[in-house]
Amino acid sequence: MSPIEEIGVLTEKMNQYAQELGVDVLGVAPIERWDTPPPFDSKKIRVYPHSGYRPTEMMPSARSVIVLGMGQLIGVMENNLSDAKTTYAYGNFGYVHPNRVMNTVCFELARWLEKSSWRTLPLGSIIGARYNHNADKDESIIAPLYSVFNMKRSAVLAGLGRKARNGLVANPTFGTRIRFGCLITTAPLEGTPLLEGNPCPPKCKICRSVCPTQALTPDGQVNQYRCSSDCGRRGRSLDDIKTQIKLTYPEDLPGVDYTSNDYHSIDSAGNRLCKVACLALCPLGENPPKDLLRKAKDWEIGNPKVELTGFPTSQ
């Protein structure tokens, strides 16, 4: 068996084991895809901007990044759009529990690879984030938080999805209703083909229309200040929100040790007013819940736009 055939066999066996562990989709990105310039046409492949560490900064011997995906439960999405004044279902089974499952799956897959002598670093769902202190001086930085390892960029580079207008990764099967986890390994795995173009219908603006704080920009960025404002409930001024965010997330100041603080990244400062309507009402994927999508207009009426003063614009 040639080295290329051996790589193909290893990749296939890994796929099979990941499915046994409960993964819905799996993609592989050779670390060369992080090169600058990239080894692909960046005009056709819409990649998220680089942030955090690169794979070889996390593990110098890395050769591949494995990204796993699990689809969200539509029942959780429906509950999230209901008038029930609770976020129990999404908080637990749309976010916390899937992340825990993904961490376990990544760990078990890493054990499987290391038994075959391929050194592997499981990163799981990666909830650790940091605050870009440059945002204090530069108002154009509307997304001051970034992960220690960019999961969205990794998912695109692993061929699992494309960047949607709501800032989320859109998978061909599950649309934006998907949770990701990843591993970095020395295994020279077979790369998954990349997906080209924009996944969103040309005139679709549902995600921007249903956002009460107008936190989504036309080019697919999330204005984290507006999103975290929770329509004024968590802070009515930009200074209020900045203070709350900085108390939750460690700043990326030179010489600061973040080791004990990365776990603080969770729940986007507690914003639950909109119940992630930009995700639940997104029409992408093979079988989007049409009965839920019909709620989009009603959602706009019941959750009218809120004026926030002093916040960077998303227009």
Predicted confidence (pLDDT) per residue in 83-126, tens digit: 887 778 888 899 889 999 999 999 999 999 999 999 999 999 98
Helices within 82-164 (DSSP H only): 88-89, 97-115, 151-157
Q: Which pLDDT belongs to residue 269?
A: 46
Q: Which of 87-96, 124-133, 172-181 has the highest mean pLDDT?
A: 172-181
Token reading at 6: 């051996």
pTM of the model: 0.93
Give the mean pLDDT of the chain: 88
Token reading at 170: 């859109």
Q: Which contiguous run of DSSP H or E holds residue 79? A: helix 74-81
Residues near 263 by Cβ (< 8 Å), separated by ≥ 6?
127, 128
